[in-house]
Amino acid sequence: MVHADLQYPEGAAADWTISQDWDRYSAADHAMWDALFERQARMLPDRVVPEFMDGLDMLRMTRPGIPNFDELSERLMKATGWQVVAVPGLVPDAVFFEHLANRRFVAGRFIRTPSEIDYLQEPDIFHDVFGHVPLLAHPVFADYMQAYGEGGLRAARLGAIDYLARLYWYTVEFGLIRQGEGLKLYGAGIVSSFGEAVFALDDPSPNRIGFDLKRLMRTKYRIDDYQQNYFVIDSFEDLLRQTVETDFGPIYAELEHQSDIEIDTILPEDVVYSRGTQAYARARSASSTGEGSFI
């Protein structure tokens, strides 16, 4: 959806950015960041791509407390030319794409409360900054994110945002990558989630299949619970190459004539890393709680 008619909120700039107001975080806010950080930092090192841990170090995100966006941006700018800017919450797609295309990552500035620790309606600063920012220090991933923003602006003109949004979902948010003998995490939605960081790699329930651009863009996804399917890329270089060297225009035109693929389907031509039992998803739908998302 492009909300061309949607006015930016009061107090925000025309590009929807606001000041982070870092001085206004309370001790409880910083303590919440530290608790979330420690919980993830304990479990991630063997699970996440090493480039993510390198990013945390390089950006000095291993220091306690909520990061200051100006300091983060200064370090990121030197590494890859990216900046982090604050926004009030979800911004319209066109605004989001325009920022990415200009190497600005938009982040929420609020942090979840203790009752929301595993369970959020809208991405908070921990998801946006801990989950997304470390890989922006990686030159290839940084280029991919910019290319995604440019692709988003084009998809908006072609009425194809829904297809492109799936690419974001299944790579930037919930992507897995093949490294050495095994799979590693890189998607921000997994990396910032205590439960899904284990589930996505270890649980027998979800399918894990090889990245295939057209196949991926036909595949539905869910926003209300752990994923039932993950796509596995070979490398960031491969992901960037497949997306920047591909003209998405003809693909969108072709996809219009094809049906969507259900989330738990495995096709004969899929490269299958795990054929999931879907036991988790079945148990959850039997006792549906229905709300919240797990980023």
Least Cβ distance, residue 221 to ligand HBI (angstroms)? 11
Q: How is residue 92 written in tokens?
A: 């319209």
Q: Does 87 bind ligand HBI (CB under 6 A)?
A: yes
Closest CB 84 distance from ligand HBI, rounded Å: 12
117 binds, among ligand HBI, Fe ion, none (CB under 5 to 8 A by kind): none
Nearest approach in angstroms of CB 266 to ligand HBI is 26
* Number of residues counted as binding ligand HBI (CB under 6 A): 10
The CB-of-220 to ligand HBI minimum distance in angstroms stands at: 15
Least distance from ligand HBI to the Cβ atom of residue 161, Å: 6
For residue 178, list its beta bridge partners. 183
Alpha carbon distance 159, 201 (integer Å): 34
154 burial (CB, 10 Å; 0-12 / 13-18 / 19+) is middle
Smallest gap from residue 90 Cβ to ligand HBI (A) = 4
Among ligand HBI, Fe ion, none, what binds residue 143 when CB lies within 5 to 8 Å by partner kind? none
Residue 62's nearest CA partner among 130, 126, 118 is: 130
* Closest CB 173 distance from Fe ion, rounded Å: 5
Are the C-beta atoms of residues 91 and 16 closer than 8 Å to each other? yes
Which of these segments, 5-13, 62-70, 185-193, 206-214, binds Fe ion (CB under 5 A)? 185-193
Beta-strand pair 104-108/83-87: parallel
> Among residues 76 and 156, whose Cβ is nearest to ligand HBI?
156
Tell which one of 90, 117, 183, 213 touches ligand HBI (CB under 6 A). Answer: 90
Smallest distance from the beta carbon of 110 to ligand HBI, in angstroms? 12
Residue 86's binding partner among Fe ion, ligand HBI, none (Cβ under 5 to 8 angstroms by kind) is none
Binder of residue 91, out of ligand HBI, Fe ion, none (CB less than 5 to 8 A by kind): ligand HBI
For 256, phi and psi rounded to 5 degrees? -55, -25
Length of the chain: 295
Nearest to 211 by CA among 227, 194, 235: 235
Residues 118-177 that bind ligand HBI (CB under 6 A): 123, 161, 165, 168
For residue 232, list its beta bridge partners.
176, 210
- Asked whether position 49 contacts ligand HBI by CB under 6 A, the answer is no
Query: Is residue 96 a contact residue for ligand HBI (CB under 6 A)?
Result: yes
Cβ–Cβ under 8 Å, residues 190 and 196:
yes
Residues in 26-85 at the binding interface with Fe ion, rule: CB under 5 A: none
**Contacting range for Fe ion; rule: CB under 5 A; set: 23-31, 55-63, 181-189, 242-250:** 181-189
Residue 50: phi and psi, rounded to 5, are -60, -25
* Residue 238 amino acid letter: D
Cα–Cα distance, 159 to 152 (Å, whole number): 10
The site for ligand HBI (CB under 6 A) is made up of 87, 90-91, 93, 96, 106, 123, 161, 165, 168
